[in-house]
Structure 1
Amino acid sequence: MSELHLTGVRPWGGDLSDVDIKDGRIAAVRPAGGVVPEGALDGEGRLLIPSFSDVHVHLDSTRLGLPWRPNDSPGGVWANMLHDRAHWRDAEVPMTERSTRMLELLIARGVTRVRGYAQIDADCKLERFEAVAAAREAHAGRADVEIMAFPQAGLLREPGVPELMEEALRTGANVMGGLDPCGVDGDPVRHLDVVFGLAEKYGVAVDVHLHEPGELGLFSLGKIIERTRALDMHGKVTISHAFTLAHTPAPRLDPVLAELAELDISVATVAPPGPNTLPLLKLTEAGIRVGLGDDGQRDYWSPYGNADLLDRTWQLAFTNGFRNDEVVEHALAVGTWGGASVFSPEFRALHGVGDRPGVAVGDPADLVLLAGETPAAAVMDRLPHRTVLHAGRVVAHDLELV
């Protein structure tokens, strides 16, 4: 039996408490000040919250840790994909090293659940998938990592891609990916038939990147909903980005959200600015599981990103215009427990804006100790004094792996 004792922590900013952890779960939470077991970890009065879950990160698309490269990406999904294709092999270190370092940075900053994307296309074939698989193996025991086989160049535009995707699923990918069924492949029926067909064959979840705006996005979303219902894939489908939900006015949006909630289709956002900002409160109030991701990290698409999901939580609050503490803390709940719920329906959806789960008896001991007066203050200040627990074991401290 593995045990860990935390003293002097504040679950979600509440009263100072001591916490017992046994066999990877929280066994007891009691007022601080009792007998301190030998070897207990002093929480120093820090906040105790669920660890972060990064549900949308391209582990194979990063230059973090490499020399600064002036950004000259052309903009747009297809143009940026070709730009990345032209440059990713020329990086100073191999893809496996970059992917492994990227995962290390995520864990050190508080992430213990990762849905990492591995690009598969006619150019890179399985090379990038194999790099991400090696990164997962290098950090086994520090985080739970799902690999999504991701058709960044579409499934139908280049020969052999569905076969490559199937090989990835056969050899360790956990999630079948899709991308803009109309906008990239131009054939939503065939695209989604491949996506859901392979997912059903291998018993894996589906995650579709849906950048398509307005009516086009609603059309593709409707086709995804149809297949989710027909194949009884409740709780196994995620829509990433889902920009159309930001563009659809309330009278039409409400029944769409009701369908997503009914089928337990989750949503992953990367907190984009401007017109693509999702109505976060409407999504969570509708009972939809919503998680947060980092997307690409200082890569050949964009100069942004630092592998810190606490920073991205600040961005989620900022782009939604949150000012009051309760809704800022709600953004933190989305970045932590909300993301865990996208990984698995066993982690329930957030129950409203004031819900603060993940630190009660019986909950998994995937936790992070954060410096901050309150959870909202921690989001605003984003201090480095953090301790990260995965399955009841300390895996990182002060932004470094243990």
Structure 2
Amino acid sequence: MTMWLRNVRLETGEATYEDGSIKTTADLFHIQVTEEGVVQAIIAASSDVPEINAFDMKGKLALPAFKEMHNHLDKTYLSIGWKACRPVKNLSERLDVEATELENLAETVTQRASAMIELHLQYGVNHIRTHVNVDPFIKLKNLEGVKKALAIYEPYITYEIVAFPQHGLLAHPEMPDLLRQALRSGATILGALDPAGIDRDIEHSLQMTMDIAQEFQVDVDMHLHDRGQVGYYTMDKWLDMVKEQNFKGRTAFSHAFGLSKLSPAVQQQFAKKMSEYDVEIMSTIPISLNHQLIPIDILRAEGVKVALGCDGFYDCWSPYFSGDILEKLYNFCEYTGKSNERALRQSLGLVTQGITPLNTNGEQVWPVVGGEASFVFVEASSSAEAIARLPKNRQLMHKGKFYIPNN
């Protein structure tokens, strides 16, 4: 049986005022959704629709459901009480601290991951790419626990699982086989971490990563924190391997801090190369402005796909948490000075895998009949207002199913 979503606000275009400023226009519509979660019809709200199996959205704005593209479901302390971070001097010490608690935390991974998933659902996320620790300390325990949590929420989310060698690929001889086991046991993407800073052998680390990825025919998502020339060299070397070994369209660089302090000309040149090899960027928009942002606007202008993620929150790495991917977008827009209607509106694609209600010319392109009925309903007049005001009480629909929180 189909359902009707009545009085849904949709962006329809834009108007230009005499002073040159832009206003996003919107109107009310009824949307018919099939049992399979597909948009069957979109008609003006002035039209009559059946009262049976109809839901009045009361003028709430529909946005594309959000995508959380860099997350760590297995790391959070959510649901187990307050715990501040132990101070450390460097990344190596932080990894040692994490290793000491992995075994105990593994016993509650499904519970903790579920708490994090529920938070994302309440904020409007219907897709999660989660990195999951695979290491000599807990083997595949975190992977099994995260899989159980994700299975509970399958009616409301899709997901990708990255087998993540948080403690290095080369430091422990069993790691390559552990990653292979993870890919046989439900992980869908191969992770990697700082071939220079952690593995201390860029070429060997990259080649082993490529070998495993080719063996299992999976994509690669690399955590790259290394800055400066080392970080840039690592990415450039990988792209050379992508060309040589026919791996185009299968790479994501997470963080990619090595891009941050290059000259704009070099950033643009390298962005063209990434676009040529269809490399994606997964950015977590560092909260501290001491960490210079990577050139997201330059990357997007050259056709590089960029997505945002909240990373881990409330864990041994940070005591803070919001978990709101829209807040990450708000931070990016504030840091980069986006204040006009178009700039705010088009930035929405960073959290929707490129889907925006209006295209760059201000023409309506979403939603469409035959498309997936996945929405976030918010109290806002436009997507620009939603980004700048961070409306609460969001309602997620995933493929025609409303998510209703348990609490």
Question: Does the alignment reach a TM-score above 0.5?
Answer: yes
Q: Give the alignment partner of residue 369 of structure 1, picking from 357, 377, 400.
A: 377
2:328 aligns with: 312
Choose the corresponding residue for 1:324, options 340, 352, 356: 340
Tell me which moved more, 14-23 or 186-195. Answer: 14-23
1:297 lines up with 2:313 in the alignment:
yes
- Asked if structure 2 preserves the Cα contact closer than 8 Å seen for 1:294 and 1:309, the reply is yes
Matched, 1:28 2:27: no
Q: For residues 327 and 188 of structure 1, do their structure 2 counterparts lie closer, same or farther at Cα, with a shift above 3 Å needed?
A: same
| 1:9–1:94 Cα change, 3 Å | same
CA distance in 1, matches of 2:82, 2:364: 39
Q: Please list the CA deviations of residues 102-157 of structure 1 after superposition, one character each: whole Å capped at 9, or x if unmatched.
A: 11221222111110110011112111111111111121221001110000111001
CA RMSD in angstroms comes to 2.3
Cα distance, 1:30–1:245 mapped onto 2, change above 3 Å: farther
Q: TM-score, normalised by structure 1?
A: 0.90
2:244 equivalent in structure 1: 230
Compute the displacement of 1:329 (Å): 2.4
Contact 1:284–1:351 (CA under 8 A) maintained in structure 2 = no
Supply the distance in 2 between the matched residues of 1:213 and 1:351 (Cα, whole angstroms): 34
8 Å contact kept, 1:118–1:147 = yes
Structure 1 residue 158 displacement after superposition: 1.4
Q: Is the 8 A contact 1:78 1:153 kept in 2?
A: no
The alignment status of 1:380 with 2:388, answered yes or no, reads yes
Of all paired residues, the percent bearing the same amino acid is 29
Cross-structure match for 2:232: 218
Look up the equivalent residue of 2:151 and give its one-letter code.
Answer: E
Alignment partner, residue 281 of structure 1: 297
Alpha-carbon separation, structure 2, partners of 1:281 and 1:140: 34
Distance in 2 (CA, whole Å) between partners of 1:353 and 1:211 is 36
1:246 partnered with 2:253: no
Unpaired runs of at least 5, structure 1:
339-346
Residue 10 of structure 1 is matched in structure 2 by 9
Asked if the contact 1:4/1:393 (under 8 Å) is kept, the reply is no
**Cα offset, 1:90, TM superposition:** 4.4
Residues 285-327 of structure 1: CA deviation (Å, up to 9, x unaligned): 1111111101011100101222221222222222323222322
**Do structure 1's residue 62 and structure 2's residue 70 form an aligned pair?**
no
Q: Is the 8 A contact 2:106 2:142 kept in 1?
A: no
Please name the residue that 2:20 is paired with: none
Matched to 1:239, the amino acid is F
SS state at 1:62 partner: coil
Who is 1:343 aligned against? none
- CA-CA distance at 1:92 after TM superposition: 11
Of stretches 112-121 and 97-106 in structure 1, the one that deviates more from structure 2 is 97-106
Given residue 292 of structure 1, which amino acid in structure 2 is its aligned partner? Answer: L
Task: Give the C-alpha shift of residue 353 in structure 1.
Answer: 9.1
Conserved 8 A contact 1:285-1:352:
no
The letter of the residue matching 2:211 is G
* Shift in alpha-carbon separation, 1:107–1:90, aligned structure 2, 3 A: same
What secondary structure is seen at the aligned counterpart in 2 of 1:216?
A: helix
Pairing 1:202–2:201 present: no
Query: Normalising by the residue count of structure 2, what TM-score does the alignment of the two structures yield?
Result: 0.89
Give me the whole-angstrom Cα distance separating, in 1, the residues matched to 2:185 and 2:359: 37
Gaps of 5+ in 2: 12-24
Q: Determine which structure has more spread, i.e. the larger CA radius of gyration.
A: 2
Whole-Å Cα distance in 2 between the matches of residues 355 and 156 of structure 1? 50
Letter in 1 for 2:251: V
Change (3 A) 1:251 1:373: same
2:115 to 95, 101, 109: 101
Please tell me whether the aligned partners of residues 73 and 302 of structure 1 are also in contact (alpha carbons under 8 angstroms): no
2:155 and 2:401 in contact (8 A); partners too? no
Q: CA deviation at 1:358?
A: 4.5
* Cα separation, 2, equivalents of 1:148 and 1:317: 28
Distance 1:305 1:369 in 2: 23
Q: For the Cα contact (< 8 Å) 2:26–2:381, is it kept in 1?
A: no
Distance of 1:330 and 1:131 partners within structure 2? 37
Larger CA deviation: 228-237 vs 182-191: 228-237
Secondary structure of the 1:115 match is strand
Q: CA deviation at 1:7?
A: 1.5
Query: Does the CA-based 8 Å contact 1:358-1:364 persist in structure 2?
Result: no
CA distance in 2, matches of 1:225, 1:169: 23
Total equivalences in the alignment: 389
